[in-house]
Amino acid sequence: MVYNIALVKGDGIGPEIVSSAVKVLEKVGAKYGHEFKCTDYLAGGCAIDATGMPLPEETVEGCKASDSVLLGAVGGPKWDKLPGDKRPEKALLGLRKALGLYTNLRPAKLYPALKEECPLRADIVEQGFDLMMVRELTGGIYFGDRGRRDGKYGPEAYDTEAYSVMEIERIARAAFDAARKRRKNVISIDKANVLETSRLWRETVHRIGEEYPDVQLSDMLVDNAAMQLVRRPSQFDVVVTSNMFGDILSDEASQITGSIGLLPSASLGATKCGLYEPIHGSAPDIAGQDRANPIATILSAAMMLRYAFDLSEEADCIERAVDEVLAAGLRTADIVGNSGATPLSCTEMTEEILKRI
Ligand code: NAD
């Protein structure tokens, strides 16, 4: 098979880490008989320098026409003083909107080799965890009606949470589909004891759940979920929740891994053309020094294989290679911690992963 991938390397360490991921894709392609045809597009600060705009039309069109998008990171101090709509970060929002991406998938996994970095208690760490946050990305309170007005006690502000059945149905399906590629368990997070949107959320998720009899579904209130994530994270497989709850809980989940520099993410929409990117930024402080950790981007490429192209075996192969380098004690500078390991460069870490594919 031939797959067309749009590469948006972006700024800072973006070009280094995306190039590492491309090498990994090429090796996997050679092993399994696929061709990954990659085309570069500009977005972020580099696009501002070249065209005056953070997200040129050519990039939008190129990404839309491709099977999937692999993004490094955008932004840096050089462009920090530009006004809001001219800033590099505008490219990310623009791309998400243009591709109609409404689902954010963020895995949070504890690597046994890095358990020293986990901030949780030793007995909880021993149980391990490997969960997937599925966050609704384009609805809810972040997009609802808001404003200021004169209230009963003087000036007040308000924000509105609204969810349509359609929006809940499609995010629920994304969660159940993700669960089918994992341990077939979904926990839906809401605040149905208080919020009407949550009651509609719960009702709708359960109705969609009937289409997935092989996936186990349960509910949890968001305040309890925030507790359970640090108390017994091993109970979670797929977690599905609204935009704001997901924003907060996905950061909590990434923190408890102790290694946020390793975490990938995917944003998916109605089509299979999703956006795959590490959760970290462009790390301008180490850009161009061959010191970046390429693992989050390499794992984002693995997510692309699994979710965009249904290539689970190939994705497993990349994830296993990453597990093996970490288990072998190999570290880039950001994850050396107290291990005493000699830090590898971005190039060396990539080579070690390639050797294991
Ligand atoms: P950051 O994630 O870029 O960096 C935070 C710290 O983590 C830095 O010390 C950096 O060196 C380190 N780090 C991050 N990724 C690393 C990697 N792969 N390997 C080794 N070390 C790594 O966050 P920041 O400093 O707050 O932001 C820097 C720039 O990135 C800003 O312009 C910000 O707007 C942008 N940003 C972009 C995205 C994105 O493109 N999705 C996300 C977050 C921040």
Q: Do 187 and 238 form a contact (C-beta atoms < 8 A)?
A: yes
Q: How confident is the model at residue 258 (pLDDT cuts 50, 70, 90)?
A: confident
Mean pLDDT of 216-244: 98
pTM confidence score: 0.92
CA–centroid distance, 256 to ligand 1, in Å, is 18
Mean pLDDT of 199-225: 98
Please identify, by atom number, the ligand 1 atom nearest to the C-alpha of residue 76: 32
**pLDDT, tens digit, for every residue of 85-129?**
789 999 998 998 899 999 999 999 999 889 888 999 999 999 999
Mean pLDDT rounded to a whole number for the chain: 95
Given 67, 190, 237, 247, which residue is catalytic? 247
* pLDDT score of 330 more than 90: yes
Q: How confident is the model at residue 259 (pLDDT cuts 50, 70, 90)?
A: confident
Nearest to 79 by CA among 42, 43, 46: 46
285 within ligand 1 shell (Cβ under 6 A): yes
| pLDDT given at position 125 | 95
| pLDDT given at position 348 | 98
- Say which range, 89-98, 201-210, 347-356, has the weakest mean pLDDT: 89-98
Residue 130 annotated to the active site: no
User: Which residue shows structure tokens 């069109």?
Assistant: 61
Q: How confident is the model at residue 278 (pLDDT cuts 50, 70, 90)?
A: very high
Residue 251 annotated to the active site: yes
Q: How confident is the model at residue 274 (pLDDT cuts 50, 70, 90)?
A: very high
Residue ID of nearest Cα to ligand 1 atom 9? 283
The secondary element (H helix, E strand) that includes residue 96 is helix 90-98
- Say which range, 159-168, 253-262, 275-284, 297-306, has the weakest mean pLDDT: 253-262
* pLDDT score of 50 more than 80: yes
What long-range pairs does 200-207 form, CB within 8 A, spacing at least 24? 200/163, 200/165, 200/168, 201/163, 201/168, 201/242, 204/165, 204/168, 204/169, 204/172, 205/168, 205/172, 205/175, 205/240
**pLDDT, tens digit, for every residue of 2-27?**
999 999 999 999 999 999 999 999 99
261 within ligand 1 shell (Cβ under 6 A): yes
Residue 78 annotated to the active site: no
CA–centroid distance, 209 to ligand 1, in Å, is 37
CA–centroid distance, 292 to ligand 1, in Å, is 10
| pLDDT given at position 260 | 82
| pLDDT given at position 292 | 96
292 within ligand 1 shell (Cβ under 6 A): yes
* pLDDT score of 71 more than 80: yes
What long-range pairs does 328-333 form, CB within 8 A, spacing at least 24? 328/352, 329/113, 332/291, 332/292, 332/293, 332/294, 332/295, 333/286, 333/291, 333/293
* pLDDT score of 272 more than 80: no
